[in-house]
Structure formats: C-alpha cells, structure tokens
Amino acid sequence: MPLVIAAKPYVSSLHNFNIVLNSHQVSLTALPPLALYIHFPWCEKTCPYCDFNSHQIKKGQSGFDEKRYIKALIKDLETELPNIWGRQVHSIFIGGGTPSLLSSEAMDELLCAVRARVNLAPDAEITMEANPSSAETEKLAAFAKAGINRVSLGIQSFQDEHLKALGRIHNGVEAKYAVAIALKHFKSVNLDLMYGLPKQTLEGAKADMDATLSFKTPHLSFYNLTLEPNTYFANFPPQLPSDDEVDAIFEQNLALLSAAGYQRYEVSAYAQKNQACKHNLNYWRFGDYIGIGAGAHGKISYPNKITRQVRERHPESYMQAMESKGNALMESKDIAAKDLPFEFMLNTLRLTDGVAINTFSERTGLSLSVINKSLTEASGKKLLDNHPSQLKATALGLRYLNNLQEMFLD
C-alpha cells in the first residue's frame, strides 16, 4: 500500500487536531495518555507454554538480588524522565515473570521511588501480576499496603490435572484461597483463565468457568492456550483438543460470561461495568508507555516522532548495563510513517468497540486517507464495521483478527 503524503494539514472534525505528514516526520499537536510498565524477570519455575521474558531461579540459589534490581529499575526510570517532562502517568503495571516474588519492602521502595520521580495521577491504577502459590498469597495484604490497588492472578485452571499439565506450581485449593484473599485487599482483581488445555473437555471447561464466576471478580482474562515458538510446548507439543472442540469451549464459556454480566471489551478481556483494565486499554488505544526492567518495551510520542525502545533482555546483562553505562537500551528507533497504520491497527482492532475514527490521525499523525484502500477492502470482506465514526472489527473480523490486521501492512 503506497503512503499518501498530505498536501495540507488533516483537520479532525471531532477534536480539531491539525496533523501534518511530510516525507520526513509526523507532527502531533497533542500527546496520548502515558503509562508505566515495570518488568520483573524471575519465576520459581518457567511454564512450558510461556514465551515472556522470564528466567527460572536456579536450584541451590537463594533467589535473586532484589536490592540490586530495584536500584537498577529506579535508575532506569530516571533515564526516561527527560522524555516525559510535564506528562502525567495514569497507570502502572508490574508484570513478569512473577513480580509477587518481590518482598513487600522492595515493592514499597519501588513505588515510593516512582511517586517521587513522576507525576502520578491521584487515581492511578497500579497492577501487579501474582501467582496463587501459598507463599505469595501470604504477602498480598502487604502489597496492598505498599500501594498496589489491582492484582492479576495467574489461575489458568482450578483443576489439578490441568495445572499439572501446564507446569503450574499451585493447585486448585491454593488458587481458590488466593482469589478469596485478593478480593479482601484489592480494589480490583483479575483472574487469568486458559481454555483449550491438554485433554480438556467441554464439561471440564464449564467447571473451570463456573468456579471462576463464583468469585464475581471485576475482571477476567479468558484466552486460548497456544503453542508459541521457543517454548517447551513448541518442541514437545501436548495433545490438545481439536479446533472444533476449542471453538465449542469458547462459545459455551462466552455465553456463560455474558449471562454473568461480563462484557467482552477486548479479544481476551472481560469486565463488569466500569472495570476494564485502564493500563491495557491505553496499550490498545495506541497510547504511550515507559518500559523499564529487563526486556521491557516502551513507546513514547514526541511532537515530531513516535519512538519504540527495548531494554537488555537478560536480568544480569540489564543490571550490569545500568551499573556501568547508566542505560540498558538495546534498541531505540523511530517508527517509520509507513509502519504506523499497521502498528495502530494491530492494537486498536483488538477492542470490540474499536476506537473513534479520528483517533487514527490523533495517535499516528497521518491522514486517514493513507488507509482508505485497506478500510474499503476490509469492509467489503465483512471484517470491518461500516460505522461512520468508529474503527471496529465485526464479529467475523474478531474471529479472523490476524487476517484483518495484516490488511494494514505497508
């Protein structure tokens, strides 16, 4: 798809943004909301399906040097401050790995350092991922006291046979206990639940969903087990249900979620009213985020460019880089104008309601005309809704989302 260069500013009819594109740069008159992502790279055990940047704590070692890592994180954040002066941070997400392996004292030190260095919104959503093992569950109250107000529990299943097949270190009883404790201490709780598990039946999947819904948590993530490259399961694939069986499980549990009052607002995210994850919504709306920690990614917009960053992936390399150079960037590059349409659509089309059509120009600095051909083609194939003011996938488009997103490649 050729890149169309606007001869004059494109003016948004809704927000009156003047956005200019020339052969060298984009020009934004307003910057998107800003979030902070903090990566914790260690796990007690690496799950066979996981392709995130996680490093198993070696046997015989006491764990990891949390003081050293926290010091590196704080210094990493300080290097980003010149790039975000005057901007408010609306949410924090501490992911991993298993961030709940941190001590509550280290978490408190980290969050205090963040508050002292950035303009954190008074109502900022601060999420921490956690596993429901008994040792981590005991620390949840202390994490809440440190400032965490939202926790995301990696339940995956409440059935021991499936947890064992997934390589999880908790059992069903521990999972239920962790949820009950989390609901006592946090403003919002998310549960991760997988389907399409080895030897999973329709009845077994319903039992998992019934157990999940019994807690009435504000938010659920419901996603299909996939065999990602460079994982144990990719090399030694388990016996999974057929595509038809997986589809039947999804349709069954989608109906259960809807009947329980959960709205599907993103491909794999479901929430009760006004309980959508603010941090992830910012990703999906092509907002900005600082990414600190081993392997963290970031996206920062400037008046004349949009930049992506990647940090050193291995925790030791990351900490050494911060200590020796004061910088752990592996890559920092401006996103080419020809790549912005795909990057924007890769995120926003995951949302069931899509985004306002003018958001494309506001967040990319490009005229909507550069994607007119793809919009027409996608609409003709019934993958994109014909809504006059929204960019959103149809039900068919959500089912074949990869195909829809690829239509916006350069």
* Residue 332: inside a domain: no
Tokens standing for 120?
């954190």
Residues 54 and 131 in one domain: yes
Residues 18 and 51 in one domain: no
CA neighbours closer than 13 Å in the CB half-sphere of residue 170: 22
Residues 361 and 268 in one domain: no
How many domains does the chain contain in total?
2
Residue 410: per-residue pLDDT: 76
Residue 177: per-residue pLDDT: 95
Residues 343 and 399 in one domain: yes
Residue 121: per-residue pLDDT: 98
Residue 46: per-residue pLDDT: 87
Residues 19 and 70 in one domain: no
Residues 20 and 50 in one domain: no
Could you tell me the residue range of the domain that residue 355 belongs to? 10-24+338-406
Residue 51: per-residue pLDDT: 86
Residue ranges of the chain with per-residue pLDDT less than 50: 1-24, 60
Residue 55: per-residue pLDDT: 87
Q: Which of 264, 282, 300 is the last residue of a domain?
A: 282
Q: Which of 282, 299, 322 is the last residue of a domain?
A: 282
Tokens standing for 135?
């040792």
Residues 18 and 81 in one domain: no
* DSSP β-ladder status, 150-156 and 188-195: parallel
Residues 21-42 pLDDT 10s = 334 357 787 999 999 999 999 9
Note if the bond before 97 is cis, omega within 30 degrees: yes
99 neighbors 42 (Cβ within 8 angstroms) = no
What is the Cα–Cα distance from 362 to 356, expressed in whole angstroms?
Answer: 10
* CATH number for 396: 1.10.10
Residue 138: per-residue pLDDT: 86
Q: Which residues are bridge partners to 391 per DSSP?
A: 355
* CATH number for 147: 3.20.20.70
Q: Which residue has the tokens 């996206």?
A: 299
Residue 12: per-residue pLDDT: 34
Residues 97 and 211 in one domain: yes
Residue 53: per-residue pLDDT: 87
- DSSP output for 21-61: E-SS-EE-SSPPPEEEEEEE-EESS--TT--SS-EEPPTTS
Residue 22: per-residue pLDDT: 39
Distances in Å between the alpha carbon of 395 and those of 10, 42, 64, 347? 31, 38, 45, 16
Residue 61: per-residue pLDDT: 52
Residues 209 and 345 in one domain: no
